[in-house]
Structure 1
Amino acid sequence: MDLDLALVRAFVTTAETLHFGRAAERLGTSQQALSKRIARLESLFGTRLIERDRGVRGTRLTEAGERFEPAAREALAAGERAVAAALGAGQAVRIDVWGHLYAPLRTVAQATEAVEPLGTVQWEPGPARDWPSAAQALLRGDTDLGLGRVHPLPDGTDAGLAHRLVRLEPVDAVVGTSHPLAGADELRPADLRDSVLWCPAELTRLDFLRRFADEFGITRRQDGPNLGLDHLVRHLRTDPACFTLFPADAPLPGDAGLRSVPLVAPTPLYAWSLVWRESHRHPLLDGLLRGFTEAGRTRRWLDYAPGRDWLPDTDHTKLTLLAPAEKRGNQRGNQRGNPPREAVGRQ
């Protein structure tokens, strides 16, 4: 049975919108033409894929349609890769990243630089807002890879996904220059108990900040919508009671009126993981994992010492899943995997 990808694309677009009018508009065709494509596909399979109910239930996928949808997305992605290969355009990788304020793509860039063949990869960043939305996109086949902090999702909604810890990144306390602790050379997490933890999104979506606050007894917490880095900077600069956590070498505006103070005894570490769907390994996945391994070895991205550093309990599991040789290569000595702490603290 030969599949016409134009018919598959018509089905996938309709499955995404569950609305023939919007799907036809997205594809630049008429509803009549779209309906004919879906009907031809259903005739080929000998079964209905989409139920068209003008009543309360509306447009919905049948059981056969639900089974076909993830495979249909994979077929479209394979077709796009085939076209790119034939045209010599290089392979494309769709990657969803989350934790956007922590600039996750800089980690991807450093990993790809470590493996020469990856230099020609065409990266297509996706719009994931958080880990749950990235997990859904991966399971649907809307994206190939994900990069961000992974934690257990309720009801096993991340089943079918595999991940590997690729970086443990020290975080600083970031405060406005009028904050009472702004003049400190370094701080312990416990020193922040009288301050307000500013969470640049709804706290229910920020697993790392929530666990940090619970661990170190920071009871005063304030969250708000994620309106970007500029909004975060303005809030910290104008509220002398607030602080937030930020990776030690992530970019902050140089004239923001902020201080980034290293945290010690212990140093909290933010865990970055690469995620993919177990049933679909992108052809470049193994090379990319090698890139993370090489970059991690030279930059000591997986340097971790109990007692000196702090990780949420859920992140300890990720460490145990690493190969022994990989852990040994990244955990020699006590040198931090980033530049010296005094070199990355921002004034």
Structure 2
Amino acid sequence: MDLDLAQVRAFVLTAQELHFGRAAATLSISQQALSKRIARLESGLGAELFHRGGHGVRLTEAGRRFLDPARRALAAAERAVAAVRDERRPLRVDVWGHLYAPMRTLAQVAAHAPEPAMELGHGRDLPAVAAALLRGDVDAAFGRVHPPLPEGLTHRLVRLEPVDVILGADHPLAGEAALRPGHLAESVLWTPGALDRLDFLHRFAERFGVRAHAEGPNLGAEHFLAGLSGDVRRFALMPADVPLPRIPGIRSVPLVDPTPLYAWSLLWRGDGGRRTGAGHPFLDTLLEAFAAEAGRARWLEYDPARDWLPGPDS
């Protein structure tokens, strides 16, 4: 049979999400249209690819066998298209983790790259950016990578950034010159969204015994940090290099013994044995620029006796 790539892409995204609604939203089509594409694919293959029932969506054995070749077929099609595109187009890079200002690091690297032709976009979170990479909508992405990461993607650690605690002036610990993370156990972690969806903050709270948390919407750093005033016990965590908005009465205090580190990575489509997969020719240049800047600015220094990384990062 001649494979219809739209049907194959619908299958791959549904296999990744194991949810028809989320896969349809990623493709910007209705759930009914997605179901029809997969049904036509199953009809052509003569096999069911998904179990559909009250316990959710699961791959059948045929679906599991088809998934990896299907991903390779999509990647080959994307390489064919890329071969005739204008190679001078900008490298499309999505970022996520916007409260922690990933553009700071990208701007610093781009300033030293020989050909910093980048077109920057904003992804909602890691799953959304990963889906965009697998579809070929973007060439690379930048943010904190944590499991589970879909197959077909590769990432490289490029920066470990110390994290400070941000306190309001009335917090009992606001006068300290430095704090250990354990000192925050009786305080309230203020988060930009649900804690279980914020991997780094969730792991920090578990590791250092922070039992109480409160959450507000992520409407930018100024709005978020102004929310510290809602409870004198609240604290927030921010990378040390993030410029703080001018909000009266907040201060940044270094965390020590250990110092939490936020891990930034560059993420792209391809397997571990191939640097750029079907990627843009500037991707190698960007990787080299990150390596050079990491060496110059000592971005990858890590001492487990002095620093703390969440389990997956370390």
55, 78, 89: which one aligns with 1:91: 89
285, 288, 291: which one aligns with 2:286: 288
Q: In the aligned structure 2, how far is the partner of 1:277 from the partner of 1:62?
A: 27
Q: In the aligned structure 2, how far is the partner of 1:195 from the partner of 1:94?
A: 41
Deviation at 1:239, TM superposition (A): 2.5
Q: In the aligned structure 1, how far is the partner of 2:236 from the partner of 2:39?
A: 44
Change (3 A) 1:217 1:91: same
Q: Is the 8 A contact 1:113 1:291 kept in 2?
A: no
Deviation at 1:263, TM superposition (A): 0.3
- Report the AA paired with residue 103 of structure 1: A
1:343 — aligned with what?
A: none
2:59 — aligned with what?
A: none
Q: In the aligned structure 2, how far is the partner of 1:239 from the partner of 1:77?
A: 53
2:162 is the alignment partner of 1:151 = no
- Report the AA paired with residue 100 of structure 1: H
Classify the secondary structure of the residue corresponding to 1:118.
coil
250, 258, 269: which one aligns with 1:266: 258
Q: Is the 8 A contact 1:18 1:60 kept in 2?
A: no
Classify the secondary structure of the residue corresponding to 1:134.
helix
Q: In the aligned structure 2, how far is the partner of 1:58 from the partner of 1:158?
A: 24
224, 228, 234: which one aligns with 1:232: 224
Change (3 A) 1:77 1:219: farther
Q: Which runs of 5+ in 1 are unaligned?
A: 1-7, 20-50, 317-347
| Greater RCO structure (CA 8 Å; 6+ sep) | 2
Report 1:13-32 matches (<5 A). Answer: 16-18=27-29
Deviation at 1:112, TM superposition (A): 2.0
1:188 — aligned with what?
A: 180
1:109 — aligned with what?
A: 107
Classify the secondary structure of the residue corresponding to 1:315.
coil
Q: Is the 8 A contact 1:197 1:242 kept in 2?
A: yes
Classify the secondary structure of the residue corresponding to 1:151.
coil
- Report the AA paired with residue 144 of structure 1: D
Deviations 1:206-238 (A, max 9, x none): 111111111111111223432222321220133
Q: Is the 8 A contact 1:175 1:258 kept in 2?
A: yes
1:47 — aligned with what?
A: none
Report 1:252-331 matches (<5 A). Answer: 252-278=244-270, 279-316=277-314
Q: Is the 8 A contact 2:178 2:253 kept in 1?
A: yes
- Report the AA paired with residue 199 of structure 1: T
- Report the AA paired with residue 135 of structure 1: A
- Report the AA paired with residue 158 of structure 1: P
Deviations 1:156-201 (A, max 9, x none): x511111110000000001111211111111100110110001112
Q: Is the 8 A contact 1:98 1:128 kept in 2?
A: yes
Report 1:35-114 matches (<5 A). Answer: 62-63=40-41, 81-82=85-86, 90-114=88-112
Q: Is the 8 A contact 2:110 2:289 kept in 1?
A: yes
Q: In the aligned structure 1, how far is the partner of 2:223 from the partner of 2:39?
A: 41
2:17 — aligned with what?
A: none
Change (3 A) 1:237 1:52: closer
Q: In the aligned structure 1, how far is the partner of 2:141 from the partner of 2:183?
A: 35
Q: Which runs of 5+ in 2 are unaligned?
A: 10-23, 45-66, 271-276
2:131 is the alignment partner of 1:139 = no
Q: In the aligned structure 2, how far is the partner of 1:76 from the partner of 1:230?
A: 43
**Structure with bigger gyration radius:** 1
- Report the AA paired with residue 108 of structure 1: L
- Report the AA paired with residue 290 of structure 1: E
Classify the secondary structure of the residue corresponding to 1:172.
strand
TM-score by length of 1: 0.67
Q: In the aligned structure 1, how far is the partner of 2:228 from the partner of 2:81?
A: 45
Deviation at 1:137, TM superposition (A): 1.1
1:168 — aligned with what?
A: 160
Classify the secondary structure of the residue corresponding to 2:313.
helix
- Moved segments of 4+, more than 3 Å: 14-19, 57-64, 66-79
Deviation at 1:118, TM superposition (A): 2.3
Q: In the aligned structure 1, how far is the partner of 2:33 from the partner of 2:111?
A: 49
Q: Is the 8 A contact 2:75 2:278 kept in 1?
A: no
Change (3 A) 1:251 1:61: farther
Deviation at 1:140, TM superposition (A): 1.3
Deviation at 1:102, TM superposition (A): 0.8
1:328 — aligned with what?
A: none
Q: Is the 8 A contact 2:216 2:224 kept in 1?
A: no
Change (3 A) 1:238 1:60: same
Q: In the aligned structure 2, how far is the partner of 1:256 from the partner of 1:138?
A: 41
User: Which region of structure 1 is more displaced relative to structure 2, 234-243 or 182-191?
Assistant: 234-243
